[in-house]
Amino acid sequence: MTTMTIERAQRAPAAPTQVPPLPLLPPPVRPTLAAIWQDLLDRRPCGSDDFFRDHRGNAIESLQLLLEVRRRFGVEVRMRDFVQDSTFDALVRAVTAGRNLAPLCVLGL
pLDDT digits (tens, 9 = 90+) for 23-66: 566 678 889 998 998 888 887 766 777 888 777 788 898 999 99
Residue 12 lies in a domain: no
**CB count in 10 Å sphere of residue 59:** 10
For 54, the domain range is 27-107
Q: Has residue 5 got a pLDDT over 50?
A: yes
Q: Please state the pTM of the whole predicted model.
A: 0.64
Q: Which pLDDT score, from 0 to 100, does residue 1 have? A: 54
pLDDT score recorded for residue 107: 45
How distant is the alpha carbon of residue 9 from its chain centre?
51
CA–CA–CA angle 7, 10, 16 (5° rounding): 115
Q: Tell me the CATH number at 80.
A: 1.10.1200.10
Cα–Cα–Cα angle for 64, 105, 89, rounded to 5 degrees: 40
